A and B are shown apart, each in its own frame.
Chain A
Amino acid sequence: MTNASLFNAFLTVLKRDLTLALRTRSEIANPLIFFIIVVSLFPLAVSPESGLLRTVAPGVIWVAALLSTMLSLDSIFRSDFEDGSLEQMLLSPHPMTVLVLGKVTAHWLVSGLPLILLSPLLGVLLFLPFEAMPALLATLALGTPVLSLIGAIGVALTVGLRRGGVLLSLLVLPLYIPVLIFASNAIATAAADLSIKGQLYFLAAMFALAVTLAPLATAAALRISLR
Chain B
Amino acid sequence: MWSFFHRLASPKHFYQFAGRLIPWLGWSTLVLFIIGIYLGLFVAPTDYQQGESYRIIYIHVPAAWMSMFVYMVMAISGGIGLIWKMKMADVVASSAAPLGAAFTILALVTGSLWGKPMWGTWWIWDARLTSELILLFLYLGFIALQSAIEDRRTAANACAVLALVGVVNIPIIHYSVEWWNTLHQGATVTRFDKPAMATSMLIPLLTMFLAFKLYFGLTLLMRARVEILERERDTTWMKEMITESGK
Pair B164/A158 contact, Cβ less than 8 Å: no
Q: Which one, A9-17, A96-104, A168-176, is touching chain B?
A: A168-176
Pair A178/B176 contact, Cβ less than 8 Å: yes
- Mark out the residues of chain A between 143 and 189 whose CB falls within 8 Å of any chain B CB in the assembled complex: 150, 153, 157-158, 160-161, 163-164, 167, 170-171, 173-175, 177-178, 181-182, 185
Pair A174/B137 contact, Cβ less than 8 Å: yes
Interface string of B134-174 (1 = CB under 8 A from A): 10011011001100110000100110011011101100110
Pair A167/B144 contact, Cβ less than 8 Å: yes
Given known A157-B145, A160-B149, contact A181–B180 (CB-CB < 8 A): yes
Say what secondary structure dominates the interface of chain A: helix
- Mark out the residues of chain B between 76 and 115 whose CB falls within 8 Å of any chain A CB in the assembled complex: 82
| B177: Cβ under 8 A from any A Cβ | yes
A-B contact count (CB 8 A): 71
Q: Which one, A21-29, A72-80, A127-135, A219-227, is touching chain B?
A: A219-227
B228, chain A: closest CB distance, angstroms:
22
Pair A175/B154 contact, Cβ less than 8 Å: no
B141, chain A: closest CB distance, angstroms:
4
| A206: Cβ under 8 A from any B Cβ | yes
Set of chain A residues within 8 Å of B168, measured between Cβ atoms: 209, 213
| A86: Cβ under 8 A from any B Cβ | no
Pair A174/B138 contact, Cβ less than 8 Å: yes
Interface size of A by CB at 8 A reads 29
B89, chain A: closest CB distance, angstroms:
15
Set of chain B residues within 8 Å of A213, measured between Cβ atoms: 168
Pair A167/B148 contact, Cβ less than 8 Å: yes
Contact of A225 among B154, B165, B169, B172 (CB under 8 A): B154
Set of chain A residues within 8 Å of B137, measured between Cβ atoms: 170, 173-174
Q: Closest residue of chain B to A172, judged by CB?
A: B141
| A56: Cβ under 8 A from any B Cβ | no
Set of chain B residues within 8 Å of A158, measured between Cβ atoms: 145, 148
A133, chain B: closest CB distance, angstroms:
23
A172, chain B: closest CB distance, angstroms:
8
Set of chain B residues within 8 Å of A174, measured between Cβ atoms: 134, 137-138, 141, 173
Set of chain B residues within 8 Å of A153, measured between Cβ atoms: 161-162, 165
Q: Of A170, A171, A206, A221, which is in contact with the most chain B CB atoms at under 10 Å from its CB?
A: A171
- Mark out the residues of chain A between 199 and 227 whose CB falls within 8 Å of any chain B CB in the assembled complex: 202, 206, 209, 213, 217, 220-221, 224-225, 227
Q: Closest residue of chain B to A225, judged by CB?
A: B158
Complex Cα distance A42/B166, Å?
Answer: 32
Q: Closest residue of chain A to B130, judged by CB?
A: A177
Q: Closest residue of chain B to A178, judged by CB?
A: B176
Pair B134/A177 contact, Cβ less than 8 Å: yes
B149, chain A: closest CB distance, angstroms:
7
Q: Closest residue of chain B to A214, judged by CB?
A: B165
Which residues of B pack against A, CB within 8 Å? Answer: 82, 134, 137-138, 140-141, 144-145, 148-149, 154, 157-158, 161-162, 164-166, 168-169, 172-173, 176-177, 180
Which residues of A pack against B, CB within 8 Å? Answer: 150, 153, 157-158, 160-161, 163-164, 167, 170-171, 173-175, 177-178, 181-182, 185, 202, 206, 209, 213, 217, 220-221, 224-225, 227
Known contacts A171-B141, A175-B173, A177-B173; 11 additional CB pairs below 8 A are A157-B145, A158-B145, A160-B154, A161-B148, A161-B149, A170-B145, A171-B162, A174-B141, A177-B134, A178-B172, A221-B158
Q: Jot down 26 A-B pairs with beta carbons below 8 A, ordered by A.
A: A150-B165, A153-B161, A153-B162, A157-B145, A157-B161, A158-B145, A160-B154, A161-B149, A164-B148, A167-B141, A167-B148, A170-B137, A170-B141, A171-B141, A171-B162, A175-B166, A178-B172, A178-B176, A181-B180, A213-B168, A217-B161, A224-B157, A224-B161, A225-B154, A225-B158, A227-B154
